[in-house]
């Protein structure tokens, strides 16, 4: 990328990425893709159904059509494309909830990245006056979006994780901070002899319990409410923390891992499922996700940093297992 034109084009694309995110947010918040599920529609009809201004909505959708999200027939009618289909609410792998969070609260928090870079303080707290998880707890309407967004961005990692690690040798797996239970349910579905425990905050556990009623794995899954900063249930063979440790800075991350260590029997294992950052100049989506975690008082880490966390928590890292997705499985055992 040596010539001036190529370098200028690079920056044009980078700056435009933020604009596209905002366009996706508008379409997702208004539910445009859901309205187009039955076929093409004129922008005036879309505006009437969403309470939007027709001329302005047209300009947003026209811009999105220019990058392959929606199709424009030149006469004011828009239709779905394969990319736009993922903005529907009712499709596998839906990205609608993630688009809403990325264009809404998280976009606002990104505006405080300079504050975070200068002070080390979370930009989300500065923008919204409270930590992210408190914000979600106080805005129940956003909690469902958050759960759906995490499923949308991380759900496709479950099968690669199961392909990379054999859980069949274990009697009981506890999913620490397991949210809606999708991860542990995936493990139980793959391994019929395994028992599961879903452990999360009482309100989260209750919501998960209601959502799991009638599922095929419900009879092998015990849902427990509690606080992993206080204690973690004992009696499991595997303590699984998937996209949990990256939510916290080192002191809190060590506290969570130490509580798992205190609950573990000598033969138990802890599995941390996260992106493991490469070093130096190697490109990685995780390095950009790390900046988002900076905004919410979290952190993505390298293999060496995970090893240090384990050591500080009384654990010994035994191996790092890559998967076919962006995440790796960091395995540890109680230190002797």
Instruction: Label residues 70-82 b or e (16+ Cβ within 10 Å = b).
Output: bbbeeebbbebbe
What stretches of the chain adopt beta strand conformation (E)? Answer: 41-42, 71-72, 77-79, 172-176, 195-200, 221-225, 238-242, 269-274, 276-277, 301-302, 315-322, 328-334
Query: 105-108: which pairs have CB atoms within 8 A and are 24 or more residues apart?
Result: 105/135, 105/142, 106/292, 106/295, 107/18, 107/21, 107/22, 107/25
- Residue 75: active-site member: no
d(CA 147, CA 96) in angstroms, rounded, equals 12
Q: Please identify which of the residues 72, 154, 191, 246 carries the catalytic annotation.
A: 246
Annotated catalytic residues are: 246
């Amino acid at each position: 990328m040596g010539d001036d034109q190529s370098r200028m084009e690079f920056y044009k694309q980078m700056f435009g990425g933020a604009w596209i995110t905002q366009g996706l947010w508008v379409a997702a918040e208004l539910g445009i893709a859901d309205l187009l599920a039955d076929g093409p529609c004129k922008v005036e009809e879309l505006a009437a159904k969403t309470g939007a201004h027709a001329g302005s909505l047209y300009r947003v959708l026209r811009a999105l059509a220019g990058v392959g999200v929606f199709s424009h027939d030149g006469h004011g009618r828009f239709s779905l494309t394969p990319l736009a289909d993922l903005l529907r609410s009712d499709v596998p792998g839906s990205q609608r909830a993630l688009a809403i969070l990325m264009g809404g609260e998280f976009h606002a928090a990104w505006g405080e990245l300079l504050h975070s870079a200068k002070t080390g303080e979370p930009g989300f707290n500065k923008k919204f006056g409270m930590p992210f998880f408190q914000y979600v707890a106080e805005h129940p309407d956003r909690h469902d979006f958050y759960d759906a967004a995490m499923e949308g961005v991380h759900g496709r990692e479950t099968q690669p994780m199961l392909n990379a690690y054999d859980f069949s040798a274990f009697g009981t797996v506890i999913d620490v901070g397991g949210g809606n239970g999708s991860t542990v349910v995936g493990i139980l579905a793959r391994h019929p002899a395994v028992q599961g425990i879903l452990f999360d905050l009482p309100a989260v556990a209750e919501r998960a319990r209601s959502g799991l009623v009638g599922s095929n794995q419900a009879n092998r899954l015990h849902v427990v409410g509690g606080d992993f900063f206080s204690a973690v249930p004992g009696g499991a063979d595997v303590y699984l923390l998937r996209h949990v440790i990256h939510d916290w800075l080192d002191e809190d991350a060590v506290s969570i891992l130490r509580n798992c260590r205190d609950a573990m029997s000598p033969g138990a294992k802890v599995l941390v499922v996260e992106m493991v950052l490469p070093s130096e100049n190697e490109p990685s989506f995780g390095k950009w996700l790390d900046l988002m975690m900076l905004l919410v008082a979290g952190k993505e880490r390298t293999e060496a940093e995970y090893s240090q966390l384990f050591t500080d928590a009384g654990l010994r890292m035994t191996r790092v297992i890559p998967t076919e997705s962006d995440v790796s499985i960091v395995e540890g055992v109680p230190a002797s």
